Amino acid sequence: MILVVVGLALVPWQWYPREWRVWYDDTFGASDYQKPAATTPAVASEDVEEACPPDIKGWRKAQSIAGVDVARSPNCLADNPYAVAAFVKGTNNVGHMTLMNAKLSPDAVVKGRDLDGDGDPDEIHIRLEVFELNGGSPDLNEPVVQYSIAPGIKPGVWVFAPKSLGMSTENFESLVAQPGLRLPSPAIRVEQGDHVKVTLENTHYMPHTIHFHGVDHPFLTADGEGNDGVPVISEKPVMPGKQRTYEMQPRQPGTMFYHCHVEVQAHILMGLNGMFIIEENRPNNWVQTFNIGDGYVRHSSVAVEEDYDREYDLHYQDLDKELGETIQGDNDPRVITQKI
């Protein structure tokens, strides 16, 4: 009997009659297909995070502030509508409470006389400051004046920003930058033919300038001062705590570029550059002088509204990781200067 069993085991399986193989599979093989139990529909958790945070301050909605119509924002983090109104009207032409809500200095954007009588100001005086975002601190183990370009990503950068009022953070308990401080540096908008002055108030610890790339401007001002923003060739850089005013009257409409011209290989990659947009001349053309962080323009020019439903400023910015880490690892200007 044992020999019979061993002999059968040694016979190749495919040699057995088909009936034997079917019987063997039915008896000792896998069980028949069993239909799984019915599943219950998934129930959404009550803790699911919303795509956009609640608009507690009501900044996203369309509204009128100081006589300026501010369009509804499609963005989760909408621009401060009070700042938009002040940029359109001029910080010298809005009330105290609007300035307080905008966190802007009264001389951030001064709009003066209507020189051609077409219903909008033609004298524009802009004041810019320089800020460090996500920089190092000798007192904390995390960046200060924090700004995230994506969740959890906070590179060290420098930005131009309109002259502000109050703290650079949201409040005295927070390390997060106030809404007026963002990357990229703001788009600047003027009208074709405007008499424009841009004052750089250097609030930073490094020397800086502003060069208006492609914008009509004289190499020297009427009093013989350098006006090109290129150190040594035009004038000396603006040292910390000092200021310089650049003058121009742009004749050609279009999208131009402004940037710091001190150690351009580093300062541009650190974020000190932005769009300079000259709008076509139209009557009653009150343009939004600054667009903080670029993106959606909540008060378009007359020429844009003639042909388009909405407008965006798209700024593509390269960043250098090592440069960003330099200002996060040290806040001594001498050390930073050597490293960059």
State the residue range of the domain holding 234. Answer: 121-296+315-339
Comparison of pLDDT for 298 and 24, the residue scoring more:
298
pLDDT at 26: 76
Residue 168 Ramachandran class (φ > 0 left, ψ -120 to 50 alpha, else beta)? alpha
* 5 confidence band (pLDDT: 50, 70, 90): low
Does residue 84 belong to any structural domain of this protein?
Answer: no
* Tens digit of each residue's pLDDT (9 = 90 or more) over 171-184: 888 899 999 999 99
CATH number at 145 reads 2.60.40.420
Does residue 148 belong to any structural domain of this protein?
Answer: yes
Does residue 16 belong to any structural domain of this protein?
Answer: no
Q: Is the pLDDT of residue 3 over 70?
A: no
Q: Is the pLDDT of residue 32 over 80?
A: no
pLDDT at 80: 95
* Tens digit of each residue's pLDDT (9 = 90 or more) over 102-138: 999 999 999 999 999 999 999 999 999 999 999 988 8
Question: Per the structure, how many domains does the chain have?
Answer: 1
* Tens digit of each residue's pLDDT (9 = 90 or more) over 195-229: 999 999 999 999 999 999 989 888 888 888 888 88
Identify the burial level of 154 via C-beta atoms within 10 angstroms of its C-beta, where 0-12 means exposed, 13-18 middle and 19 or more buried.
middle
Distance of alpha carbon 294 from alpha carbon 317, whole angstroms: 12
Does residue 212 belong to any structural domain of this protein?
Answer: yes
Residue of 323, 248, 286 whose CA lies nearest to 119: 286
Q: Supply the mean pLDDT for the chain.
A: 89
- Mean local confidence (pLDDT), 8-36: 74
Does residue 206 belong to any structural domain of this protein?
Answer: yes
Q: 195 and 230 in contact (C-beta within 8 Å)?
A: no
Does residue 283 belong to any structural domain of this protein?
Answer: yes
Q: Is the pLDDT of residue 13 over 70?
A: no
Does residue 255 belong to any structural domain of this protein?
Answer: yes
* Tens digit of each residue's pLDDT (9 = 90 or more) over 265-317: 999 999 999 999 999 999 999 999 999 999 999 999 999 999 999 999 999 99
| Vertex 219 angle, CA 213 and 223, to 5° | 140
Comparison of pLDDT for 97 and 24, the residue scoring more:
97
Does residue 309 belong to any structural domain of this protein?
Answer: no
Q: What is the pTM of this model?
A: 0.82
